[in-house]
């Protein structure tokens, strides 16, 4: 074994430490959301800006596939594009997010025109897509491992929306219900790929840095959204 190379349990622990420390479940905006303390405008600003993230997930995943020369890995990763784009018009996670927008009173056209996207959100999401385009595919896979921490957050969020945000039609929450299980499946798949294909200490270190970078992407998106909610006049996003 290469000197300094972490064994799988140690490598997995190093990755989990990043999320435990830096995942956006701790962000003040999510804390307020899960405590039911956000008003409708704040929820709508979050939904409208997160839509830009959702739209770009399949673009990011296609970038990973385009950089990967292992057919078995490409076959396994392909479902992520279909999960978001569906197999036909009106299906998939992006469509479910449009329905969430509609349930919050955001016209579909406004989401699709990216009418409310904040500069900080656009820059963070574009940085994530460019990261996936330019890094070795196992490192880009590692950046998706923020989803190891998503199921607990999704469960908290779903409970909070059902309890505190009853002005949003419950059918709009289908996306979160779907992610409860999908995030667990996807993150386990991503973890095994990372543990197997980041097979030098240098790639292991890059994978840990990739996960930290992605935690920053998610964190700064919420910083931008919270700042816009605190200063709606200046942001022009509401």
Q: In the complex, which residues of this chain contact ligand AHQ (CB under 6 A)? A: 57, 144, 146-147, 150, 153, 179
Distance set, CA 206 to CA 11, 24, 140 (Å)? 12, 21, 10
Q: Given CA atoms 141, 188, 27, 161 in this order, what sign does their dihedral have?
A: positive
Q: How far apart are CA 43 and CA 164, in angstroms?
A: 12
State the minimum distance, in angstroms, from the CB of residue 2 to ligand AHQ: 28
Q: Nearer to ligand AHQ by C-beta: 136 or 201?
A: 136
Beta-carbon contacts of residue 131 (< 8 Å; ≥ 6 apart): 140, 143, 210, 213, 214
State the minimum distance, in angstroms, from the CB of residue 147 to ligand AHQ: 4
Q: Are 45 and 237 in contact (CB under 8 A)?
A: yes
State the minimum distance, in angstroms, from the CB of residue 200 to ligand AHQ: 23
Distance set, CA 43 to CA 102, 124, 234 (Å)? 12, 19, 18
State the minimum distance, in angstroms, from the CB of residue 132 to ligand AHQ: 9
Q: Nearer to ligand AHQ by C-beta: 141 or 237?
A: 141
Q: Nearer to ligand AHQ by C-beta: 143 or 235?
A: 143
Q: Nearer to ligand AHQ by C-beta: 144 or 204?
A: 144
């Amino acid at each position: 074994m290469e000197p300094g190379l972490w064994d799988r349990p140690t490598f997995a622990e190093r990755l989990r430490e990043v999320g435990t420390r830096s995942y956006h479940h701790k962000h003040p905006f999510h804390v307020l959301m899960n405590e039911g303390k956000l008003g409708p405008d704040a929820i709508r600003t979050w939904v409208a800006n997160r839509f830009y993230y959702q739209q770009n997930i399949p673009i990011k995943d296609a970038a990973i596939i385009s950089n990967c020369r292992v057919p078995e890995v490409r076959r396994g990763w392909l479902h992520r594009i279909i999960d978001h784009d569906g197999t036909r018009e009106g299906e998939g996670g992006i469509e479910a997010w449009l329905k969430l927008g509609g349930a919050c009173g955001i016209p579909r056209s406004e989401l699709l025109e990216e009418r409310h996207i904040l500069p900080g959100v656009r820059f963070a999401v574009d940085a994530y897509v460019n990261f996936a385009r330019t890094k070795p595919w196992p490192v880009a896979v590692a950046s998706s491992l923020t989803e190891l921490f998503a199921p607990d957050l999704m469960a908290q969020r779903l409970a909070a929306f059902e309890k505190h945000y009853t002005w949003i039609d419950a059918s709009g929450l289908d996306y979160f219900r779907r992610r409860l299980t999908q995030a667990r499946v996807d993150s386990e798949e991503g973890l095994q790929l990372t543990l197997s294909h980041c097979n030098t200490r240098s790639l292991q270190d890059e994978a840990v840095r990739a996960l930290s970078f992605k935690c920053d992407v998610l964190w700064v998106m919420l910083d931008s959204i919270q700042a816009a909610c605190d200063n709606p006049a200046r942001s022009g996003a509401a």
